[in-house]
A and B are shown apart, each in its own frame.
Chain A
Amino acid sequence: MATAAAPGLPTLRQMLNATLKELAAQLAARKVSSVELAQYFLKRIETLGSQLNAFISVDPERSLAQARAADALIAAGSAQALTGIPVAHKDIFCARGWLTTCGSRMLSNFVSPYDAHVIERYNQAGAVIVGKTNMDEFAMGSSNETSYYGPVRNPWDTAAVPGGSSGGSAAAVAARLAPVATGTDTGGSIRQPAALCGVSGLKPTYGVVSRYGMIAFASSLDQAGPFARTAEDLALMLNVMAGFDARDSTSLERAPEDYSRALTRPLKGLRVGLPAEFFAEGLAPDVARAVEAAIAEFKKLGCETVEVKLPNMRLSVPVYYVLAPAEASSNLSRFDGVRYGHRASEYTDLADMYRKTRAEGFGAEVKRRILIGTYVLSAGYYDAYYLKAQKLRRLIAQDFVEAFKKCDIIMGPTTPTAAFNLGEKAQDPVQMYLSDIYTIAVNLAGLPGMSIPAGFGAGNRPLGLQVIGNYFCEAQMLNVAHQFQQVTDWHLRTPPGFAQ
């Protein structure tokens, strides 16, 4: 094979902050090979990444094999937008031949025999799996402290949490351990860590990305989405991930769309809805200031603001903590030690095997949610909890329907505060649950939501602006975010210590 001129160090350094489009151009021009890119990021994971604990699995052999295949595609001139690009995948996605743990001891020995839809799509696009990222156990957590593999640290301040549950993916992108990453969002698990790590993250409309092969936490809320630095990159990733999949009955059959198509559209006349409930008690002053400054930028871009009301949003945390555990308690029943995964080494009979296996295999937060979920579904409590919560869920969704009659897009803070310290909320589940107060309602309604970098708060920790669109308005949200990123540079900042 004819080799292009060996890339010098400067070329690789350029890769550090390159967008997907730039990387693709470098690959196409043979300035760099996919193998070199993979080696470069694998090296960063090994050296710089060790202090972050952002990855559960790296498998250089597998990654490089994929990279070699990608190089062949590029050489043959059949590259697509993501061919040869390293991507980090949350360890919630089953990937054939990869250890797929979901952050749990329960699956600490589970090598998936099949690919999730999301993995399949990235593989088909020629992307290279650079590793599987750390996460809260079974995606249950907002700080990445519930992982069996230990907490992830925030690249901006290793004393701080990266957020969760997709903390590993957010930290990896922030620290440039991978150009982009995938995550999942059940109550804010993409948007919250994106905000706390200063990257961009998008949770699409429920049903846009197939859940096939994505280990279920709360099936009616779970949705996969991308992490990147820029909205432009998110659009390219969504182009790969989105689309109908007959293997997921909740996947929506819609015509494929190009999520990049509206990026450059001017925002003049766009009506931005500001829910009063987003700016009430509990919002830290630094976050409030950053969000207000961002909104001022949008006004400069020609947007109008309108006040909207989400009166039932205050119910979203309690509703969520009935419904999500209810579904989880049932979804996690399959982890019983019978067919795969962890099994207790000694037991007296079947019931004892179940008891010990699950006692050993699950961590405290997972057990707490299984207990809550089992309780709310029990005879005599079902109506008072589960059924009531379902009714309130519809009211919460209806609030958004009303709000979108007055505006085109909704904005507010992603989180009430900047990243908190490791251990700070670990012993107080309710405080922890409240860190998702602005994101959960979006999942309950099934709406698309995203978080984009909007500044820095106390301790120079990043802050996020949440952008909520109407159903299937991802392209418009990406347009809004992209226009914002043309006039701000928060998304381009690199955490000190990871800039080289």
Chain B
Amino acid sequence: MEWETVIGLETHAQLSTRSKIFSGASTAFGAAPNTQACAVDLALPGVLPVMNRGAVERALRFGLAVGATINARSVFARKNYFYPDLPKGYQISQYELPIVAGGSLRIVIGDREKIVHLTRAHLEEDAGKSLHEDFHGMSGIDLNRAGTPLLEIVSEPEMRSAEEAVAYAKALHALVRWIDICDGNMQEGSFRCDANVSVRPLGSDKLGTRCEIKNLNSFRFLERAIDFEVRRQIEVIEDGGHIVLETRLYDPDRDETRSMRSKEEAHDYRYFPDPDLPPLVVSEAWREAVRAALPELPAAMCERFINDYGVSEYDARLLISSRDFASYFEAAAQRLIELNPAQLGNEEEARRNYGLAIAKGMSGLLAAQLNRAELDIAHAPVSAAQFAVLHARMIQEVVTSKSAREILLALWESPQTDESAIDAIIEAKGLKQVGDADELGGIVDGVLAANARQVADYRSGKEKAFNSLVGQVMKATGGKANPKLVQEILKRKLEG
């Protein structure tokens, strides 16, 4: 039988507020245990929660970015259960009335696009951490994380493969960083997913029994956990068994999921509205102010890049991989348009030509260098303006693309802020391309004399030999020869 996989994700994004969701304690990561837990976080007798407006604002930003409904009134509820790292004995969360309802996210799987709908997104507080090692049979409790603001984003069960689930998680990850509500640091747990996975016979419209896999904190684990779980469920059903509604944990070391608790063991959380917190009211004015302050969203920007700069869809997607990357592109393209090295008269033509040049340069040269250096573009030692000047010099045929790489690397090694640095390096390293026909003619003559065999090959019809000869000339000039000119001269001399 053929099976269809059905996946929905619940994602916890830690909101990037400086203080906690209901107290003034810091949310900074990595402090000594229990040094960032105030009386409220410790749940001392008599303390009360106070809503952090910054957390609400971030939730609003998210809701507006995914085209969701912002509920003018949402309610905080208490989710009651006992655990040592849950100081109050309940977690404050939104239950019946979340702040964000609906919305959708566009995801890309290879060259296919898909819209994933969201069920809701709600605000809640994180719990502390239980440490079961190093305490000689006892457990340590660290409450630094207790009260950290989270946005739980729940998708509809619309993903049909681990690949789609990862594409969704990546798109969501990019979005929360884009709108600056979450640092997205998965190692530190700032962005983690629970996957609800079920299978059903292909063509069936009934959902199978699902299992929830908790706390997947990398895209790789997400993919592997789902793949394992799908295989497991199909195997169970094909062996005549039933899937039990349960919570499972993924063990990366053994690459398998295992049962944590079944529905029978599930808690009755006894949700009820938290009487310490009045309903959260979001006025139209507040909502609209947040909307007005939203940055241009990736989808809109992607479209604009394609339309305005003539960038391919593939390149446009790469350019919007982060907000920093996109703004670097726009800044560089703008500067190049100002410089207008090809002296184009038509504004639209200029934008398209220069935009394309920068896009290509970023997806090739710059992306490769960033990857190698494991650097984020925000920390690239080459400014957008410098990158534009570099391209101007290429377009003006002052330097070859080979030299451009060398200039980039030189700047990478000893960064300078001024855009004149490009010309200074060209000068200092003598990278100005050789464009003098006479000078080149002499070099070509030398190469032809030294490579009699290739010359003979070419003349007997082996076209490939031509490229080899071009390469020899370029090598002889240290990559500085104007490639177009080299080809012209070579062709003339070989055929003349």
Residues of A within 8 A of B (CB): 93-94, 100, 102, 107, 110, 112-114, 116, 211-216, 218-220, 246-250, 326-327, 329-330, 332-336, 338-340, 350, 354, 374, 377-379, 382, 386
Please tell me if B87 contacts chain A, counting CB pairs below 8 Å: yes
A-B contacts, 13 of them at CB < 8 A, read A94-B44, A112-B44, A114-B44, A211-B46, A213-B47, A216-B46, A219-B276, A249-B50, A330-B272, A334-B89, A339-B43, A377-B80, A377-B271
Please tell me if B78 contacts chain A, counting CB pairs below 8 Å: yes
A330 touches B47 (CB 8 A): no
Please tell me if B253 contacts chain A, counting CB pairs below 8 Å: no
User: Nearest Cβ in chain A — how far from B24, in angstroms?
Assistant: 10
User: Nearest Cβ in chain A — how far from B245, in angstroms?
Assistant: 15
Q: Which of A107, A332, A382 contacts B272 (CB 8 A)?
A: A382
Given A330-B89, A334-B89, A338-B84, A378 and B46 touching (CB < 8 A)? no
A102 touches B275 (CB 8 A): no
Q: Which of B48, B87, B271 contacts A212 (CB 8 A)?
A: B48
New contact pairs (20) apart from A215-B46, A216-B46, A336-B84, CB-CB < 8 Å: A113-B39, A218-B275, A219-B276, A249-B48, A249-B49, A249-B51, A249-B276, A249-B277, A249-B278, A250-B278, A330-B270, A333-B80, A333-B90, A334-B87, A336-B89, A339-B42, A354-B82, A374-B270, A377-B80, A379-B268
Q: Write out, one digit per residue, whether chain B residues 340-365 have a CB within 8 A of any chain A CB (1) or not (0).
A: 00000000000000000000000000
Given A330-B89, A374-B270, A94 and B45 touching (CB < 8 A)? yes
A212 touches B270 (CB 8 A): no
B276 touches A330 (CB 8 A): no
B89 touches A333 (CB 8 A): yes
A330 touches B78 (CB 8 A): yes
Please tell me if B12 contacts chain A, counting CB pairs below 8 Å: no
Distance A215 CA – B44 CA, assembled complex (angstroms): 9
A100 touches B84 (CB 8 A): no
Minimum-distance CB pairs A-B, first 8? A333-B89, A377-B270, A220-B275, A219-B275, A213-B46, A334-B43, A215-B45, A94-B46
B270 touches A378 (CB 8 A): yes
User: Nearest Cβ in chain B — how far from A218, in angstroms?
Assistant: 8
Distance A164 CA – B232 CA, assembled complex (angstroms): 61
Distance A214 CA – B47 CA, assembled complex (angstroms): 8
User: Nearest Cβ in chain A — how far from B268, in angstroms?
Assistant: 5
Distance A422 CA – B390 CA, assembled complex (angstroms): 93
Please tell me if B88 contacts chain A, counting CB pairs below 8 Å: yes
Distance A378 CA – B44 CA, assembled complex (angstroms): 26
Please tell me if B294 contacts chain A, counting CB pairs below 8 Å: no
B contact residues around A215 at 8 Å (CB): 45-46
Distance A340 CA – B78 CA, assembled complex (angstroms): 22
Q: Write out, one digit per residue, whether chain B residues 37-63 have a CB within 8 A of any chain A CB (1) or not (0).
A: 001001111111111000000000000
Within 8 A of A (CB), among B167-203: none
Distance A249 CA – B82 CA, assembled complex (angstroms): 25
B contact residues around A220 at 8 Å (CB): 275
Residue of A nearest to B40 (CB): A247
Distance A214 CA – B39 CA, assembled complex (angstroms): 13
Please tell me if B141 contacts chain A, counting CB pairs below 8 Å: yes
Distance A117 CA – B406 CA, assembled complex (angstroms): 67
A contact residues around B78 at 8 Å (CB): 330
Distance A249 CA – B48 CA, assembled complex (angstroms): 8
A contact residues around B270 at 8 Å (CB): 329-330, 374, 377-379, 382
User: Nearest Cβ in chain A — how far from B95, in angstroms?
Assistant: 11
User: Nearest Cβ in chain A — how far from B137, in angstroms?
Assistant: 11
Distance A334 CA – B46 CA, assembled complex (angstroms): 11
Residue of B nearest to A101 (CB): B45
Distance A112 CA – B45 CA, assembled complex (angstroms): 9
B46 touches A107 (CB 8 A): no
A contact residues around B46 at 8 Å (CB): 93-94, 112, 116, 211-216
Q: Which of A107, A326, A338, A382 contacts B45 (CB 8 A)?
A: A107
B contact residues around A329 at 8 Å (CB): 80, 270
A334 touches B272 (CB 8 A): no
A contact residues around B276 at 8 Å (CB): 216, 219, 249-250
Q: Write out, one digit per residue, whether chain B residues 263-280 have a CB within 8 A of any chain A CB (1) or not (0).
A: 000001011100111100
B contact residues around A378 at 8 Å (CB): 268, 270
Q: Which of B47, B51, B90, B141 contacts A338 (CB 8 A)?
A: B141
Distance A218 CA – B274 CA, assembled complex (angstroms): 11
Distance A18 CA – B371 CA, assembled complex (angstroms): 82
B contact residues around A213 at 8 Å (CB): 46-47
Q: Which of B39, B48, B51, B271 contacts A211 (CB 8 A)?
A: B48
Distance A219 CA – B43 CA, assembled complex (angstroms): 15
Distance A336 CA – B51 CA, assembled complex (angstroms): 25
Residue of B nearest to A354 (CB): B82
A334 touches B88 (CB 8 A): yes
User: Nearest Cβ in chain B — how far from A182, in angstroms?
Assistant: 14
B contact residues around A214 at 8 Å (CB): 46
B39 touches A114 (CB 8 A): yes
Distance A326 CA – B271 CA, assembled complex (angstroms): 11
A contact residues around B48 at 8 Å (CB): 211-212, 247-249
B44 touches A113 (CB 8 A): yes
B contact residues around A107 at 8 Å (CB): 45
B275 touches A327 (CB 8 A): yes
User: Nearest Cβ in chain B — how far from A341, in angstroms?
Assistant: 8
User: Nearest Cβ in chain B — how far from A289, in angstroms?
Assistant: 39
A contact residues around B50 at 8 Å (CB): 246-249
Residue of B nearest to A379 (CB): B268
Distance A378 CA – B80 CA, assembled complex (angstroms): 11
Distance A285 CA – B88 CA, assembled complex (angstroms): 47
Distance A248 CA – B90 CA, assembled complex (angstroms): 18
Distance A479 CA – B43 CA, assembled complex (angstroms): 40
Residue of B nearest to A107 (CB): B45
Distance A214 CA – B45 CA, assembled complex (angstroms): 8
Distance A382 CA – B275 CA, assembled complex (angstroms): 16
A contact residues around B80 at 8 Å (CB): 329-330, 333, 377
Distance A326 CA – B49 CA, assembled complex (angstroms): 19
User: Nearest Cβ in chain B — how far from A10, in angstroms?
Assistant: 42
Given A113-B39, A249-B51, A100 and B278 touching (CB < 8 A)? no
User: Nearest Cβ in chain A — how far from B469, in angstroms?
Assistant: 79
Residue of A nearest to B24 (CB): A247
Q: Which of B88, B268, B277 contacts A333 (CB 8 A)?
A: B88
Residue of B nearest to A100 (CB): B45
Q: Which of A93, A248, A339 contacts B87 (CB 8 A)?
A: A339
User: Nearest Cβ in chain B — how far from A349, in angstroms?
Assistant: 11
A contact residues around B87 at 8 Å (CB): 334, 338-339
B84 touches A350 (CB 8 A): yes
Given A249-B278, A333-B88, A339-B43, A326 and B272 touching (CB < 8 A)? yes
